[in-house]
C-alpha cells in the first residue's frame, strides 16, 4: 500500500500544439516548444496547401511517445465569411476564393481568373451578377 502512494502518474503530454511556421513548403519547419523541421504537411482530401512563414499552425503528434509530428492546418489570417454547415470556402492571398454552397452554386472570386484545359459549366453562369450571354460577334 505504501508503494502505491510513492508511484506518480505519468506526466500528461499534449497531442497537438499551436506553433508558428519558420520554413514554408511541403516539409515545414514549426516553432512550438522548440523548432522542429521537415514536418509533412497534410490537408483535407483534394486540397494542396503549404503554410506561409509566420503563420500559426496546428502541429499534431502521433506514433509511440508522440515523436512523429505533422502540420495539419492553420488559423485564418483574416476574418473569413460565415458559411453554412457542409459548405466549403477556400481562400488564398489577394482576395481569391472558391465558395461551394449547399444550394449547388459555386462562387469564384479573383483579380484575374484563368482557365487552362477548358471549363465546363452545367447550370446558369453569371458574370459580375449578370447572366452570361456569349458574344454573337
| Per-residue pLDDT reduced to its tens digit, 118-128 | 777 778 888 88
The least confident of 18-27, 30-39, 88-97 is: 88-97
Closest by CA to 70, choosing from 38, 46, 47, is 38
Q: Taking 80 as the threshold, does the pLDDT of residue 55 lie above it?
A: yes
Q: Taking 70 as the threshold, does the pLDDT of residue 6 lie above it?
A: no
pLDDT of residue 64: 73
pLDDT of residue 15: 85
- Parse the chain into domains and list their residue ranges: 16-74, 76-111
Class of domain 16-74: mainly beta
Mean pLDDT of 7-12: 57
Residue 10 — very low, low, confident or very high, per pLDDT cuts 50/70/90? low
Mean pLDDT of 79-91: 77
d(CA 10, CA 13): 9
In the three-class reduction of DSSP (H, G, I as helix; E, B as strand; rest coil), residue 3 is classed as: helix
Amino acid at each position: 500500500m505504501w508503494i502505491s502512494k510513492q508511484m506518480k502518474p505519468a506526466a500528461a503530454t499534449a497531442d497537438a500544439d499551436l506553433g508558428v511556421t519558420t520554413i514554408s513548403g511541403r516539409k515545414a519547419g514549426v516553432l512550438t516548444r522548440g523548432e522542429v523541421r521537415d514536418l509533412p504537411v497534410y490537408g483535407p482530401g483534394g486540397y494542396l496547401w503549404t503554410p506561409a512563414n509566420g503563420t500559426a499552425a496546428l502541429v499534431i503528434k502521433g506514433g509511440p511517445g508522440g515523436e512523429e509530428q505533422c502540420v495539419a492546418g492553420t488559423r485564418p489570417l483574416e476574418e473569413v465569411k460565415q458559411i453554412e454547415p457542409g459548405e466549403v470556402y477556400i481562400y488564398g492571398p489577394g482576395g481569391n476564393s472558391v465558395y461551394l454552397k449547399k444550394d449547388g452554386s459555386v462562387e469564384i472570386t479573383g483579380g484575374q481568373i484563368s482557365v487552362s484545359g477548358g471549363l465546363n459549366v452545367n447550370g446558369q453562369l453569371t458574370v459580375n451578377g449578370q447572366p452570361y450571354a456569349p458574344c454573337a460577334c
